[in-house]
Structure 1
């Protein structure tokens, strides 16, 4: 966790959190050693909220290693409550996805429910549903969900829409996963690589590469408070992906989406905490990639730098205006109503000194 990584200290794990991650995800002696050190150094009754999220995963791993300990009874109870709650939520999610599909609307499952297929043993607590919908189907999806008594809880802003129902379930809808111009191409690439194997093909799953990228963004760009289980989720994504994780596409898309720092820092954390090693060429390649100013600014914004927040907003506006100017210049050479007006608007202005 070197100072070479900007604001890396903001995501520093406590020794107890590192041990919990190792006890939950490593195998054999490494897992058992971490477990012994962790359980003797914490009070399991007063864990932080992030650590509590990992307890079902911890129980599964300890059970697989034949661990016998007084804490196992408590961990078993936590695991079983989580398992039962997840079954109810996944059944509800499957019905929701089937209803949308019957209405001609496809959805990619994101977030907590996306780590495991519906039929798999899901140890990750599912507190909400999160779906990616095609931009041109978003309004239709909201209409379909209204028929199922889902209500929007915030104004529709086409970025992130929050809904809830009478069962107090939360649902988030969005139409873009990554932000890179041209946005239509970025969205299409996400759908192109997605697979239809979620909940008996009622919904879609991200490709392993995009799921890992999304997890990095959620951990390092969208919320500092979820790092411990963000790291666990990233490791589970890699384990589930096996040989399907496209490392070349991962680092090239990280550069295109301006996510070099999240991917780089995640790989370093996985290496340091969970002893995971990516292919030998990956980290050297990603360290050689230049980091865009907007990406540095995002890290500074997360650290609470208000000036960086303003600069980040201005930089994003300039990029969007530049894209708009490019589109207008392209239109200038094609016949359409108002073409002459557009040409006049884009004509270089003469200096006052001329």
Structure 2
């Protein structure tokens, strides 16, 4: 049993209505039906927040599986069908693009919403694409994408690199997923544990452990608006992965990547919303780990952590330098006078030892 002392939240948490929607969409039998009745009577289904709307296809599938008959089912069915069609078009475009990059010798790990497309029709996937390639292949990848009418967005200092096509569709490209020294080892770990996509989709997807870590980071990053589907993604990933989710590696890497707070928050919310419990040793281990100052700054923190404000304030003084470094790194991939000089200055120095 988890101790009640863990159940404290910071500025991020779902609303009561959002919790009911999550339960109605993803729980089973009586729990799902009770949540559905309570949610339906507490909201206007015609006027929903964008985060809740994304879960309606999954809500429809769950209600259909439980034999629910309700006037709202017709509307939910229409949303589900539109979602299915849009997802098929997106996956078709993704397949073409991945095949083009693979023909140029570039391997891609698909990130973001599309990475969950192997969970059939689970929810709407984003119209933007997110790719991870090896850092040494960034410029080659940009050249290949440019050849099929993608171009780098004019906005500077974007991490990941933002590209658009003529229809203004977005593609985000990055060479690193997590940041930890030595960076080359961190990157290689991600690729080592990655698994091939299903047969009809070229490229790779993250291991369940890395996908869970990445999902936690996306959900609780401070600059992001609350996204309840991040919580839904986490429980679906756990169910789908089963024993493939390596809990020991997860907490070890959470510490290396400074993701202790996001993982803690996610596990607490999964227990609160879905009554899901990770192995009994996982959360206590995470709660005993020291947290770096930068992590306090980057992520939504637990209300029970009294030192968070002080630590975040201290870490804030480090942010301008980090922001400047990000801007300089992004300029490497944009044409401007002195680009070669900047690239040589930013090149990692070899040790004299």
Same fold (TM over 0.5): yes
CA deviation profile, 1:113-157 (whole Å, cap 9, x unmatched): 001328x33423322110101111111111111111112113676
Relative to its length, the structure with more helix (as a share) is: 1
Aligned to 2:48: 47
Deviation at 1:267, TM superposition (A): 0.2
Distance 1:156 1:183 in 2: 24
Deviation at 1:168, TM superposition (A): 3.2
**Structure 2 SS opposite 1:131:** strand
Deviation at 1:50, TM superposition (A): 0.8
**Structure 2 SS opposite 1:171:** strand
Aligned to 1:215: 215
For the 8 Å contact 1:23–1:58, the answer to whether it is kept is yes
Q: Residue 207 and residue 20 in structure 1: after superposition, are their counterparts in 2 closer, same or farther (change >3 A)?
A: same
Distance 1:329 1:107 in 2: 28
Distance 1:71 1:88 in 2: 26
Unaligned 5+ residue runs, structure 2?
A: 303-307, 324-347
Distance 1:93 1:244 in 2: 26
Q: How many residues align?
A: 324
Aligned to 1:313: 319
Q: Residue 182 and residue 279 in structure 1: after superposition, are their counterparts in 2 closer, same or farther (change >3 A)?
A: same
CA deviation profile, 1:259-316 (whole Å, cap 9, x unmatched): 1110001000000011111111111111111112221232479999995563242786
**Structure 2 SS opposite 1:40:** helix
Distance 1:202 1:23 in 2: 34
Aligned to 1:31: 32
Deviation at 1:173, TM superposition (A): 0.5
Larger radius of gyration: 1
Report 1:115-264 matches (<5 A). Answer: 115-117=116-118, 120-154=120-154, 159-198=159-198, 200=200, 202-221=202-221, 223-264=223-264
CA deviation profile, 1:308-339 (whole Å, cap 9, x unmatched): 5632427869xxxxxxxxx97941x4xxxxxx
Aligned to 1:298: 298
Deviates more, 1:220-229 or 1:11-20: 220-229
Structure showing greater relative contact order (alpha-carbon pairs closer than 8 Å, 6 or more residues apart)? 2
Aligned to 1:107: 108
- In the superposition, the TM-score normalised over structure 1's length comes to 0.84
Aligned to 1:272: 272
**Structure 1 SS opposite 2:225:** helix
Distance 1:161 1:229 in 2: 24
Distance 1:304 1:290 in 2: 16
Aligned to 1:320: none
Distance 1:301 1:171 in 2: 30
Distance 2:25 2:209 in 1: 23
Distance 1:252 1:243 in 2: 17
Aligned to 1:92: 93
**Structure 2 SS opposite 1:269:** helix
Deviation at 1:2, TM superposition (A): 8.4
Distance 1:51 1:310 in 2: 33
**Structure 1 SS opposite 2:226:** helix
- In the superposition, the TM-score normalised over structure 2's length comes to 0.84
Deviation at 1:172, TM superposition (A): 0.6
